[in-house]
Amino acid sequence: MELSMAYPLLRAKPFSSFLIVVSLIASFGQLKSWPDALPQELLTLDIAEKIFPDSNATTLASTDFGNLTQARPAAVLYPSSSHDIAALVRFSYSSSRPFPISPRGHGHSIWGQAFAPEGIVVEMAALGHGGAGRINVTPAYVDAGGEQLWIDVLHATLEHGLAPRSWTDYLYLTVGGTLSNAGISGQVFRHGPQIANVYELDVITGKGEAMTCSKNSNSDLFHAVLGGLGQFGIITRARIALQPAPKMARWVRLMYTDVGLFTRDQERVISRDPDKLFALNYLEGSLLVDNSLIGSWRSSSFFSRADIDRISGLAARSGIRALYCLEGAVYYNEATKADMDQGLRLLLEELNFVPGFAFMQDISYLHFLDRVHDGELKLRSAGMWDVPHPWLNIFLPKSRILDFDLGVFKGILKNNKAMGPVLIYPMNKTKWDDEMSAVIPDEEVFYTVGLLRSALEGDLDYLESQNNEILRFCDQEGIVVKQYLPHYTTRGDWMKHFGPKWNKFLKMKMKYDPKALLSPGQKIFTFLEKNRLYG
C-alpha cells in the first residue's frame, strides 16, 4: 500500500549504479554553465564534483511514480557518504542565498513530495552505490542506510534467519522514504507501522547537523522525524527491530457479499490476543466493483480460472455490484504446521464469509512479502507501469466505515472501471505512538482505504475528480478522515491535517529546519517566505 515514498535512476544492480555515478562524475568537467538558482560558492566545496546541474541528471529527478506533476531541480547531488549530504545542507543553511534540498529514494512519491524546484535533489541511492553494503545485521536489530530498499534489508536479514516485523506491501521502497511517512501493510494491527519498530536513527537536520536520536536520546527529533514527511531531517541510518523469520506463509482469501459481515470479521481478527488465541500474522482486505479487480486476478497465480469464474458468478447471482475480499496470512515453519492447520481451521469456522468461497495457498515467506513485485513485472512488460497514478489513501474512524461504504463504495465508485486495487482494512490505534508525527483518526479502531488506481486511456481527469468528490463527501457527512501520503497545497489544509499536533510540528520545524530547506515538495512550508517560518 504504501503506497509510501521515493529513486529510479540507481535502482539497477549495484555495479550498474556505480557505473552511472562514475559516468556522471566524468561528465562534470564538460558542463558549460552553473544554474543561476545556486550560489557560485558551491563550486568551491569538496562536494562540488558530485553536484550535477546537467539536464540528464535534473530530468530524472523531476518526475516520480505518480506521473501527475513535474518540477526540475537546479542540480542533483550524488553523495558518497552522509558527510556529503551534511556538507550540502550546512552550506545552504549558512549561505546568503539558501536553496531547498530534498532526498530522493525510489521516486515512489505521487505528487512530487521528493521534488526540490530550483534547489538540489539528493540521489540517496548513490550512498553505497545503491547496494547492500550499508546493511548490518545483529541478533536483535538491523542497521540499514536510509537509501536501502526494504527488499535488500529482507534478503540480508533472512540470511541470519531474521526479519523486520512490519512491512509495506511493496518492498522496492527505501527505508528513509517509508519511515518519513509511517510504513503500513497488513502487519500493522499486530506490530504497528514501520515507524513503531525503530530503535534509533541517524539524521542530518536542516542546519546540516549530523545527529543520532532515539526514544532516550534527542527524543524530540526522533519522534518528529518518524512520520515527519522529511521536514526535520534526512534519515541516513535506521536501527530496526528484528524477530525470527518463518519459512512459510498460508495465504488466505475469503469472499463476502455483505459489508457488515466483512468489517465485523476484520475487526474480530485484529482483536484476538495472539498470546491467548490463534491469530493471523497479516490482515488486509479489498473491494471488487463490477469485476474491476476480478479481471486483474485472471493473470494471478493465486486463483485458478475456475476460481475466478466462480467469484464472478457470485456477484452475478447475488445481484450486487460490490464484493469484499478478506485477505489474511499465517506464518509457520514445518514444526508448527500442524498447530497452524488446526488454529486456522477453527478461526475460519468463526468467520462469516460466503460458504465455499475460501481460497488458500502455501508459499514461502519471502515470496509472500514480495508478492507485489510479480505484479509490477507484468505491468512493466505490458507498458502499464509508467502511467499516471492518482492514488488516494485515507484513514477513517471505524464508526463511519458503513457510511463510507454506502456513500463511496456503493455510490461514487459504483461504476468504477479503473485499473488498480481498492484496499480496505482496520488497524489498532494502540499500536501507534502518538508522540510521532504521523496522524491517525481519534478512535481505537480505524480503517485505511487505499484507492491505488492507474489512469489509462485518458481517464486521469475523471479519477482525480472522483478522488476530490470522495473527500468532499467525507467533509459534508462529517466523516473525519486523515490522508496518508497526504497532498495539500495550503497552510490551512496542513494545519487541519495535523490538528492538535500542528503547534508541536511547527515548533520542531523551527528548531531543526528553521529556514525550511528540507523536502519543499511537500508544500507544508513555502520556501520563499523570506526563508523563515511563521505561525
Q: What is the DSSP string of 254-312?
A: EEES-HHHHHHHHHHHHHS-TTTS---SEEEEEEEETTHHHHHHTT-SSS-HHHHHHHH
Amino acid at residue number 87: A
Nearest to 484 by CA among 394, 368, 351, 353: 394
307 phi/psi in degrees, rounded to 5 = -60, -45
Euclidean distance between CA atoms 307 and 312, whole angstroms: 9
- Which residue of the set 64, 106, 108, 200 is catalytic? 108
Q: What whole-number distance in Å separates Cα of residue 348 and Cα of residue 185?
A: 22
Give the integer Cα–Cα distance in Å for 50 and 55: 15
Are residues 318 and 257 in contact, defined by beta-carbon separation less than 8 angstroms? yes
Residue 108 appears among annotated catalytic residues? yes
- Catalytic position from the list 284, 370, 405, 459: 284
Catalytic residue among 118, 147, 169, 513: 169
| Separation of alpha carbons 19 and 1, rounded Å | 32
Q: What backbone torsions phi and psi does residue 241 show, to the nearest 5 degrees?
A: -65, 145
CA atoms 447, 194, 374, 129: torsion sign: positive
Note if 367 is an active site residue. Answer: no
Quick one: which of 327, 347, 360 has its CA closest to 279? Answer: 347
Three-class SS state of 178: helix
The CA distance from 450 to 464, in Å, is 14
Q: Phi, psi (5° rounding) for residue 102?
A: -140, 130
373 is catalytic: no
Residues marked active site are found at 108, 169, 284
